[in-house]
Chains A and B, each alone.
Chain A
Amino acid sequence: MVQKESRTNLRLFNRERFPLVSFFVFFILCSVMMGADYRYQISKKIKSTIPILITPINNLLNFPVNLFHESKNNFINKELLIEKIDNLETTNYILSIQVQENQLLKSENNILREILKIRKEFEIRGETAEIILPEVRNGYSIITINKGFKHNIKNGSAVINNAGLVGQIVNTSKSYSEIKPITSESYAVPAVIDNGKENVILYGNGNGELEIPLFPAGSEIKINDTFITSGVDNLYPKGIRIGIVSEIKPTKSPKFNYILVEPFSQPTSFSQITVLKIKK
């Protein structure tokens, strides 16, 4: 059988210059660049200041969905619109009743706080945005939203949706921002069980859940207990729902348990979120 031609000339005894010195120089250069980038966030700054690196990719990825929505709007008929308006009016009516109830509760709460001399809560304002594509970048999971520093979105802002806490803004450009989800590694949020008894810090485990690696075994906690933000960090307002306890496991030490928390919010593409602007 004839052997297939090799891909290249055999270079067993070739005397080409071996670029070992260049490699070492570049290896040191790359290591220094990685260290500098990790410390000074150069990559993020480049991406946010040069929108041409990200904007065309995002626009192209979202183009088919935008085109679909636009063409769908052109084919919508009158009956469907009337039905939609009716539904919205009914929802609006129900919500306006709830708002009245909430206003009453809020004023009662304010009076009680003044009597008990409890410090004022934060005044929360939010910017609504939509989650768009991409949801992945070269093997890393990301959440991209369609608003950036043009819309006064700032790095570090907390992000919520109707289900609960979503994450935190980690990167902003002119028209887009990226969110670090609460379940990602190296994410931590101060929380409290909704009965107000146990103050803890929840950590993302990178597998779509949150965890408390060492929770005192003597403390009271059970499956389906709800965690909310405690607000002690002055970043996340108090009372935002985070998740429920899904698993309690013993650790090697009898003094501690391992707690797994399933988050309430599972943000999907093209759903709405709110970026909080906290005013002290």
Chain B
Amino acid sequence: MVKASPPPAAAGERDLRLDLFRGVALWLIFLDHIPENIANWFTIRNYGFSDATEIFIFISGYTAAFVYGRAMRERGFVLSSARILRRAWQIYVAHIFLFTIFMAEIAYVAATFNNPLYAEEMNILDFLKQPDVTIFQALLLKFKPVNMDVLPLYIVLLLLFPPALFLLLRQPNLALAGSAVVYAFAWKLDWNLPAYPNGVWFFNPFAWQLLFVFGAWCALGGAHRLAGVLRSHIVLAIAIVYLVFAFAITLTWHFESLDRFVPGWLADWMYPIDKTNLDVLRFTHFLALAAVTVRFVPRDWPGLKAPVLQPAIRCGQHSLEIFCLGVFLAFAGQFIIAQSSGGPLLQTAVSVLGILLMIATANLISWYKSIEGRSSSSRVKTPDADLAGGEA
């Protein structure tokens, strides 16, 4: 997460905490994407305002600046921009691949599911009647099935990243202020991208860019500048108080009888807590979480080398592949649970098996990359995003 040590340009070595927490975030996103799942009681969205998406986007901004910032300094704007856009393209292809799997699942359900109780809900399959429009809208990133909103957000953030990075390298504070202004305008003027067949993007890129740019700002020396603030006991106390407050509020969501303890004026002011536009309450909750985490998990924390954390770190290091796999496994897991009308036992089994598959795949990718890296060692080694100990 936020680093309290010298800026990466000097440190050079990758902060394993980023991989660790991104890996954990990927697991949590997987669990949250299975709607009927007893295991998603463990995910952080049940204990506060923000959830794994915030962690994922922040760390993605951080690593993007870490990897491409160095490239931009060393090789110039054009080449680094080209690499950023290539990354955006890879993510786009991954997204379309997932969409294809989703279509196959939908088509299967359409062919087999016929329950008169759900005649209205089955209208969701209407789009199969006009695949020309639907597929085209999906290619334009306007039609996004449930749980497929994160990658399009990531694509848009990367497309806009080259100029942002350019400014971040020269006037980091100005860039961060500009990002905050865009965020404010998105709220004030209802900026968002249109979706198909109706409405707007579930993750508003104009709002969520703030977290991405903030991550990048931290990577490019901002965390170093914040180190003093993060060492303050007052900041720690405020962060902990806020986390406890958020936890208390989320408790009232799960136990309705507690609802009456939330005063009316507070509810009026607080609700709805808007995920689409990255509500300030969510953003500050993430900041508080990050501040506390950085405090208790320093960069050189010996635990980062512990074998038990290596699976999460591995997953975090191959985030795109593992994210896509997670989305697919969530589809598949939900499908299995639905087919067998599964109870808590099956849900737990599917959750554990899914995470094990994610870990196995991450290990496989690491192994393959290390083999490939050795055989091509004669070549001049370019600092590639994929080999920088992880990805942007």
A and B assemble together: no
